[in-house]
Amino acid sequence: MRKILIAGNWKMHKTSQEAVELINGLKRELADIQTVDILVCPPFTNLSEAADIIIDSNIALGAQNCHWEKEGAFTGEVSVPMLKSVRCTYVIAGHSERRKYFAESDEVVNKKIKAIKDAGLKPIFCLGETLEEREENKTFSVIETQLTGGLKDLKQDDLKDLIIAYEPVWAIGTGKTATPQQAEEVHSFIRKLLKEKFSSIVSDGLRILYGGSVKPDNTKDLINKEDIDGALVGGASLKVDSFSQIVKNSLG
Ligand code: PGA
């Protein structure tokens, strides 16, 4: 059985004070939840204080990005060992906003996934097609290219802690969610690819999250699909009420 994971990607939101309020509110609201994994991914500037607040709680901490080198002359970048030192256990790699605005290629995403894994953290590997690609019936080939590139040179054992997030770019921040059927179709395709490229141990065990305008009222229908194992939530993760409600609506 794959445990449901609900992850909040705060993107570039929240000052220090706002982050403390949000994380305290979530800790209070979600204290009793044990059957779902809960994760928050605040901006780098809030990680340390978030880690102090959620210590010994049921909420895990993740970062939204990383550099693939351990250290060096890379002004403005943050490495995985640095993230580990502030108690992050997950790191997002390959979010479509990074691919689009910061020109992250599959090769770069692959390096990041390897760095995250090598440090013993859990990569959340994002992939997804644009609207144009979907309309040109390229969804499956785009997903296959991103998956193959992002997981290049990795072996079955390397994928133990990996999580995939399918995020159709046209559904991110647009209020336009993929229907549960549309999402399931791609999730099961990803699982099939994982089986072909690795093994059924990988394809059966690996969690695949859906992301793109997840809200409290569409959570249940998405999570109920066989191959959807949770959600990566952007906008609705910025408020205690909506994120808590998404977590609660994902309970079996
Ligand atoms: P959204 O963002 O929930 O605001 O659509 C999802 C994401 O980009 O991870």
CA-97 nearest atom, ligand 1: 8
In the predicted structure, residue 176 carries a pLDDT above the cut 90: no
Q: How far is the CA of 181 from the centre of ligand 1 (A)?
A: 19
Closest Cα to atom 9 of ligand 1? 234
Mean pLDDT of 217-231: 97
The model's pLDDT over 119-143, given as tens digits with 9 standing for 90+, comes to 999 999 999 999 999 999 999 999 9
Going from the C-alpha of 31 to that of each of 121, 189, 208, 247, the distances in angstroms are 24, 35, 25, 11
Q: How far is the CA of 216 from the centre of ligand 1 (A)?
A: 13
Note the pTM of the prediction, 2 decimals.
0.97
For residue 95, indicate whether it is catalytic: yes
Closest Cα to atom 1 of ligand 1? 234
Residue 29's domain is classified under what CATH number?
A: 3.20.20.70
Question: Domain range holding 63?
Answer: 5-249
In the predicted structure, residue 175 carries a pLDDT above the cut 90: no
211 ligand 1 Cβ < 6 A: yes
* Residues forming a β-bridge with 169: none
For residue 187, indicate whether it is catalytic: no
Mean pLDDT of 162-171: 97
CA-212 nearest atom, ligand 1: 5
The model's pLDDT over 74-91, given as tens digits with 9 standing for 90+, comes to 999 999 999 999 999 999
Catalytic choice (95, 97, 133, 187): 95
214 ligand 1 Cβ < 6 A: yes
In the predicted structure, residue 32 carries a pLDDT above the cut 90: yes
Least confident piece of the model among 84-98, 149-163, 171-185, 233-247:
171-185
Q: How far is the CA of 172 from the centre of ligand 1 (A)?
A: 5
100 ligand 1 Cβ < 6 A: no
pLDDT of 29: 98
Per the prediction, the chain carries an average pLDDT of 97
pLDDT above 90 covers a percentage of the chain that reads 97
Catalytic choice (97, 129, 167, 184): 167
The model's pLDDT over 177-213, given as tens digits with 9 standing for 90+, comes to 899 999 999 999 999 999 999 999 999 999 999 999 9
In the predicted structure, residue 252 carries a pLDDT above the cut 80: no
Q: Domain count of the chain?
A: 1
Out of 97, 214, 237, mutate this one to test ligand 1's pocket (max ligand atoms within 8 Å of CB): namely 214
CA-126 nearest atom, ligand 1: 9
167 ligand 1 Cβ < 6 A: yes
pLDDT band at 1 (very low <50, low <70, confident <90, very high): confident
Q: How far is the CA of 233 from the centre of ligand 1 (A)?
A: 5
In the predicted structure, residue 251 carries a pLDDT above the cut 90: yes
